[in-house]
Amino acid sequence: QVQLVESGGGVVQPGRSLRLSCVASGFTFSNHVMHWVRQAPGKGLEWVAVMSYDGSNRYYADSVKGRFTISRDNARNTLYLQMNSLRPEDTALYYCARDPAVFVVVVAAMGAFDLWGQGTMVTVSS
Amino acid sequence: DIQLTQSPSFLSASIGDRVIITCRASQGISSYLAWYQQKPGKVPKLLIYATSTLQSGVPSRFSGSGSGTEFTLTISSLQPEDLATYYCQLLNPITFGQGTRLEIK
């Protein structure tokens, strides 16, 4: 079954850290560009970060640059998002999303999303 | 930064209606556009990529077109299951429109 399953969300105080994981199955994860996209409660979609298929390049939204780090372990079919210095405005449902592009080294904040996980909720509150 | 503005933000239409959602860019764009459908409580779904190419499995009543600063998503004959919020997305740089909530009358 082709799917993405996120985990690692929760309630955290401002300034603290959290690490999200996304496990892929049913397709060749190591071939695809991968993204994180978030959606605040009742709001629209906001792209967060992208990583090349081989982990060589990564780009971030300005709102998370310097605080979040995207990474991947192709041997484990897993995408990660390390979130540091969390703020209340980071509260959102975080989706892992597959890009249809394969064997692409991204050179900018670019891409589309053809497969989405169910999301993991992150709440930043004191 | 390029901004994408969708209109209308809210739309109420009847079964069988032709529905058009517009996505306007703040400046001319050379990159492709994608469209997503998000049903209430569900995950977004890719409908159209490369501005006008229908994603596999998406009903043919959905179509996309446009260039420059104006792009459209058209539903040729609205069905009950089309109740959803629709988002346009610029591929480079990644930018989303604010969404259009479609209600069935």
The 10s digit of each residue's pLDDT in A24-80 is 999 999 999 999 999 999 999 999 999 999 999 999 999 999 999 999 999 999 999
- Cβ contact (<8 Å) for A45 and B96? yes
Q: Which of A100, A111, A116 sits opposite B94 (nearest CB)?
A: A111
Mutate to test the interface with A, among B5, B39, B43 (most CBs of A within 10 A): B43
Cα B45–chain centre separation = 11
Q: How far apart are CA A102 and CA A29, in angstroms?
A: 9
Mean pLDDT throughout B52-70? 95
- Cβ contact (<8 Å) for B92 and A109? yes
pLDDT at B66 over 90: yes
Instruction: Write the DSSP symbol of residue A109.
Output: S
| Closest-approach residue (CA) in chain B for A44 | B98
Residues of chain B in contact with residue A47, where contact means CB-CB under 8 angstroms, are: 94-96
Report CA-CA distances (Å) from B80 to A81, B12, B17, B73, B84: 37, 12, 11, 17, 10
Q: How far apart are CA B30 and CA B17, in angstroms?
A: 31
Q: How many residues does chain B have?
A: 105
The 10s digit of each residue's pLDDT in A87-118 is 999 999 999 999 998 888 888 888 899 999 99
Q: How far apart are CA A23 and CA A21, in angstroms?
A: 7
Which 3-state string (H, E, C) describes B48-80?
Answer: EECCCEECCCCCCCEEEEEEEEEEEEEECCCCH
- Cβ contact (<8 Å) for A109 and B31? no
CA gyration radius, chain A? 13
Lookup: tokens for A72: 């991947």
Nearest C-alpha of chain A: how many angstroms from B10? 13
- Cβ contact (<8 Å) for B96 and A108? no
